[in-house]
A and B are shown apart, each in its own frame.
Chain A
């Protein structure tokens, strides 16, 4: 069974600071997705990475997929209170249906 460990588990920072969240696997990812979940809502997909070494940017968010496809990171520049939420990495099947295995999650709080 794929185990996805995220670190840190909790993160509380001030507005304007930078942060990095990590997702590590016990085996090679077939593909990796990052989600953000806000209170009272379901997770929302931020990005999908499939190629080792891939880097994707989404405004102030930078996603990196490790060369060996066993780890990934999410870097947020100049965090804002609107970035507050639960960040989840997830591995998905690339065929045969939809089944996501989620990481343990990183709860981020950005304060003014």
Chain B
């Protein structure tokens, strides 16, 4: 089975721009979660999507949004980019059985905001 794929792998934007990141989960996985990783704050949960609906949300401003498509692929969008949005954005997918899940992470998209 192919793993979680994220595109693009690297991205450079300027302040004020917006960006869209894409995540393709493992085939058959219905839950997709997004995380932000920075040296200062570590790995932080952004949001989770299941069946095209946001099921859980972290403590990030409304500039961060996401969506999930019927094939479980997910996108996240960051509007009005700030320097502090420079980070590695990770996507994780899971099957979503009852009980504690194993989440499988993609390699991430590294975003640099200038």
Contact = CB atoms under 8 A, between A and B. Distances in A.
Interface in A42-99: 42-45, 48, 50, 88, 90, 92-99
Name the residue among B4, B31, B45 with the largest chain A CB count within 10 angstroms. Answer: B45
Mostly helix, strand, loop or mixed at chain A's interface? loop
B103 A45 contact: yes
Mostly helix, strand, loop or mixed at chain B's interface? strand
Interface string B71-92: 0000000000000000000101
B105 A99 contact: no
B96 interface: yes
A97 B98 CA distance: 9
A99 B33 CA distance: 7
B90 A42 contact: yes
Contacts, number: 67
Contacts of B56: 93, 96-99
Contact of A40 (B48, B104, B107): B107
Q: How large is the interface on A (under 10, 10 to 19, 20 to 34, 35 or more residues)?
A: 20 to 34
B33 to A, nearest CB: 5
Name the residue among B90, B98, B101 with the largest chain A CB count within 10 angstroms. Answer: B101
Contacts of A100: 33, 35, 43, 45, 92, 103
B33 A105 contact: no
Interface of B: 4, 31, 33, 35, 42-45, 48, 50, 55-56, 58, 90, 92, 94, 96, 98-108
Given A93-B56, A98-B103, A99-B58, 14 more contacts: A41-B108, A42-B4, A42-B90, A43-B43, A43-B105, A50-B100, A97-B50, A98-B33, A98-B96, A99-B48, A100-B35, A100-B45, A104-B42, A105-B43
